[in-house]
Amino acid sequence: MRRVAVALVHYPVLDRQKSVVTTAITNLDLHDIARSAHSYGLSDYFVIHPIAAQRELAERVRAHWVGGSGARRIPDRSPALELLTIVPDLEDAIRALGEPEVWTTSAAERGELLEYSAARSRLLQPGPPVLLVFGTGWGLADSVYERATHRLEAIRSPRPDGYNHLSVRAAAAISFDRLLRP
Amino acid sequence: MRRVAVALVHYPVLDRQKSVVTTAITNLDLHDIARSAHSYGLSDYFVIHPIAAQRELAERVRAHWVGGSGARRIPDRSPALELLTIVPDLEDAIRALGEPEVWTTSAAERGELLEYSAARSRLLQPGPPVLLVFGTGWGLADSVYERATHRLEAIRSPRPDGYNHLSVRAAAAISFDRLLRP
């Protein structure tokens, strides 16, 4: 099994008008994605934020649950939050993993896509680490997709109208389950 | 395809010491599970809470996103939050669906379990509605499991240590995907 890590990008991402923006860190994104990542055996959870004050906020949340009073109150949270590394730029996460494949995710389908079944098989073969990249806001900016080794297929809705507005917390959990469930 | 609904129980659930307690409503449980439920074609999302002030809080959140300023700002949220019905007791949700099968979920395995692959097949056959029941806190109390038509298998971790501490938001998303993805 290849090493798999996840990155949550707060910049560059899109807003509703498809402008490139920076989003704020959401506390439950830190918790939920860390808990899902650790449950599915991922090695790292990189939170990407260009603003120092936002990174410090995330560092305080991490410290509370890894060594602070949160860790004493709910010890099960510690190993999950230990996965968290907060860095200014996606390139920092890529460097930390060596030379990983970058697999981007999207709610919309664009370009040539890697299907989940094929992706799951690839992870079972020997190869470099894989960094799964999720966007906040209205999704990753084009410059991130241009960085991708592969673009994962979208999580499609079974609804006739195709309504597909999963939270990034839900989308990450579903992706981990599709790729890594036993 | 059978009608499928979801219930999120705040009482009776367990705390860390396995005592039966009432938990507080978490705002993002309303949003995330509504968005996941609507994306996967569920008919209803019942939030179960015995305390009137907590139900009123959830009703205000619903109103903000269905007809208030939230609906104007992010119209995509409205159809998801419209699924939300807030009731005092799980029996209210059961009555609202007629005579549904009650399928409980758990992070631990107990008794005879319905595997996800079999559950998915059952949903494709004709039959009564199915109410998927998730617990907050440290999981559903025994009295809810005694009410179950079926108990779904746990979402297992691929980790050697079996660490499995998904948020209820993540667990619900994974369950919907396993049962209802196209």
Q: Is A130 helix (H, G, I), strand (E, B) or coil?
A: strand
pLDDT-based confidence at B148, cuts 50/70/90?
very high
Q: What one-letter code names the amino acid at A146?
A: E
> B1: buried, middle or exposed (CB in 10 Å: 19+, 13-18, 0-12)?
exposed
A40 contacts: CB under 8 Å, gap ≥ 6: A176, A177, A179, A180, A181, B157, B158, B159
- CA distances to A57, A76, B10, B12, B139 from B18, in Å: 33, 15, 14, 11, 9
Closest CA of chain B from A177, distance in Å: 7
pLDDT for position B164: 92
ipTM of the complex: 0.97
**Interchain proximity B156–A182, CB inside 8 Å:** yes
pLDDT for position B112: 87
Report how many Cβ contacts below 8 Å link chain A to chain B: 112
Rounded to whole angstroms, how far apart are CA atoms B89 and B112? 25
pLDDT-based confidence at A60, cuts 50/70/90?
very high
Sheet strands (E) in chain B: 4-9, 13-14, 20-21, 44-48, 84-87, 101-104, 113-114, 130-135, 150-152
Which of A65, A82, A117, A174 to mutate to probe the B interface, most B CBs <10 Å?
A174
Question: Percent of chain B at pLDDT above 70?
Answer: 100
Kindly tell me the sign of the dihedral angle through the C-alpha atoms of B94, B96, B100, B101: negative
What domains can you pick out in chain A, each with its CATH number?
Answer: 4-180 (3.40.1280.10)
In the predicted model, what is the mean pLDDT of residues B76-84? 95
Which of B29, B39, B181 to mutate to probe the A interface, most A CBs <10 Å?
B39
The residue of chain B nearest to residue A173, with distances taken between CA atoms, is B170
A111 contacts: CB under 8 Å, gap ≥ 6: A145, A151
pLDDT-based confidence at B108, cuts 50/70/90?
confident
Of A20-29, A64-73, B120-129, the least confident: A64-73
Closest CA of chain B from A163, distance in Å: 5
Question: Which residues on neighbouring strands pair with residue B6, listed in sequence order?
Answer: B45, B132
Rounded to whole angstroms, how far apart are CA atoms A60 and A45? 16
**Interchain proximity A182–B16, CB inside 8 Å:** no
DSSP secondary structure letters along A86-110: EESSHHHHHHHTSS-EEEE--SS--
pLDDT for position A85: 98
In the predicted model, what is the mean pLDDT of residues B125-153? 97
In the predicted model, what is the mean pLDDT of residues B12-28? 97
pLDDT for position B152: 97
DSSP secondary structure letters along B43-95: SEEEEE-S-HHHHHHHHHHHHHHHTSHHHHH-TTHHHHHTTEEEESSHHHHHH
In the predicted model, what is the mean pLDDT of residues A155-181? 96
Rounded to whole angstroms, how far apart are CA atoms A89 and A77? 26
> Alpha-carbon dihedral of residues A52, A54, A59, A61, nearest 10 degrees?
170
Instruction: Indicate whether A25 pLDDT > 80.
Output: yes
Using a CB-CB cut-off of 8 Å, the residues of chain B touching A72 are none
A51 contacts: CB under 8 Å, gap ≥ 6: A22
- Which pairing describes strands A101-104 and A150-152: parallel, antiparallel, or unpaired? parallel
On whether the CB atoms of residues A120 and A114 are closer than 8 A, the answer is: no
A170 contacts: CB under 8 Å, gap ≥ 6: B32, B35, B36, B169, B170, B172, B173
Vertex A36 angle, CA A122 and A113, to 5°:
35
Global model pTM greater than 0.90: yes
In the predicted model, what is the mean pLDDT of residues A23-39? 97
Instruction: Indicate whether A108 pLDDT > 90.
Output: no
A150 contacts: CB under 8 Å, gap ≥ 6: A101, A102, A103, A104, A114, A119
pLDDT-based confidence at B109, cuts 50/70/90?
confident
